[in-house]
Amino acid sequence: MQAQDWDKMDDEAFRLEVRGFFRKEYPEHLRFPAYHLRWADTKDWYKKLVDKGWAAPGWPKEWGGMGLSPGKLLIFIEEQERHGVARTPDMGIILLGPLLIKFATEEQKKQFLPPSLRGEYIWCQGYSEPNAGSDLASLKVEAVLDRDEYVINGSKTWTSYAMDATHMFILARTDKKAKKQEGISFLLVDMKTPGITVRPIRNLLGVEVFAEVFLDNVRTPAKWLVGKPNQGWTMAKALLGFERISIGSPKLAQTGLKRLDAIVRSQGLTQDPAFMDRYTQLRLDVADLASTYSRFADLLKRGETLGPDVSILKIVATETFQRLTELTLEAAGDAGAIGGKAAFRKDSVDILSPFYNARPATIYGGSNEIQRNILAKNVLDLPS
């Protein structure tokens, strides 16, 4: 299919085009899934995206992407959320791809980008470790050069989709003498390499989406190191910007509000002024989140770069959504501990899954406490 110049298209026309495709092609039973779907659930859908040429909306066209500007990419994501399109195991597309395109050698790009785009390589991210969570730079997984291979030892954790992944990109320490952030490299690893053990971790929803990954004398080619040795931290950090705005989208909360409203009516809570005051406050918080999101989105759509103050979006979006799920449990009353689709007078609503899903949102991607540290230092200019 001839690559199209999407950025020449009017924003609204592009939005309708994307919306139309999702409506026509996305499987109805996978809309608004209660938790992260596995590759087995989403691979047919992913194949459709590949055939359409839409598998990597943010990648440049020369590598098979749609070549969308940040503004258009935002519209694409907004439409995904609006239709309830599930994320596929997309670490390779969202996180690794842009990093390779920016920092990898031509040979590495040719080796890894096309199969990743086609869904032949499924990637997982090896950043966090059992003893390196918020303090990620203290990570201990070590990679020692042995002729033309790195020998990797240690363990990674909270690795989403590790069970589905064919490959992993990791941050590993390659210089123990250097300062914390300065001795870390970015390496690619084949999950079939001997010495890798994956232990799935059951989460609070009772499903296994992430895992602990043990690396015991795992050998990976030295030419699979991306960028320069000991520059891994800087590279990984350089790509966080866009993440912060997509994580700050109000869609999840807006959908949650509709679910809550069904319960509020069903429970007759509209007659309870004490409840209604807090409910209205929450609705206003969601509305103001949407206003804040559109303010940053407008900057992106105009081609401006986002400053460090975009961290407020992650905080507001995730904490508002958490409070929403909490108020939903409260409104549910006795049904607030019933799993699956809990029956109310008029509807059956899954109230526990969103409550659980809201928990890690304030932890991953730099916990909200870390975001507050960043804001205090980089935006409010407070001393350390």
Q: What's the closest the beta carbon of residue 209 comes to another protein, in angstroms?
A: 26
**Nearest 10 degrees: Cα torsion 343, 349, 350, 352:** -80
Nearest CA among 128, 199, 196 for reference residue 158? 128
Nearest CA among 97, 85, 91, 82 for reference residue 41? 85
| Cα–Cα distance, 88 to 160 (Å, whole number) | 11
- Quick one: 209 or 331, whose CB is closer to another protein? 331
- Quick one: 19 or 372, whose CB is closer to another protein? 372
CA 83 to centroid of chain Cα atoms: 17
Q: What's the closest the beta carbon of residue 299 comes to another protein, in angstroms?
A: 7
Q: What's the closest the beta carbon of residue 291 comes to another protein, in angstroms?
A: 4
- The β-bridge partners of 170 are 126, 187
Residue 293: strand, helix, or coil: helix
Active-site residue (options: 17, 182, 208, 243) = 243
Q: What's the closest the beta carbon of residue 238 comes to another protein, in angstroms?
A: 21
- Quick one: 207 or 312, whose CB is closer to another protein? 312
Q: What's the closest the beta carbon of residue 296 comes to another protein, in angstroms?
A: 9
Check if the beta carbon of residue 175 is closer than 8 Å to that of residue 183: yes
Nearest CA among 137, 120, 121 for reference residue 129? 137
CA distances, 208 to each of 149, 203, 218, 244, 363 (Å): 32, 6, 24, 25, 18
Residue 243 known to be catalytic: yes
- Quick one: 77 or 257, whose CB is closer to another protein? 257
- Quick one: 202 or 295, whose CB is closer to another protein? 295
Binding site for another protein (CB under 8 A): 257-259, 261-262, 264-265, 276-277, 279-281, 283-284, 287-289, 291-292, 294-295, 299, 304, 309, 312, 315-316, 347, 369, 372-373, 375-376, 379-384
Catalytic residues: 243
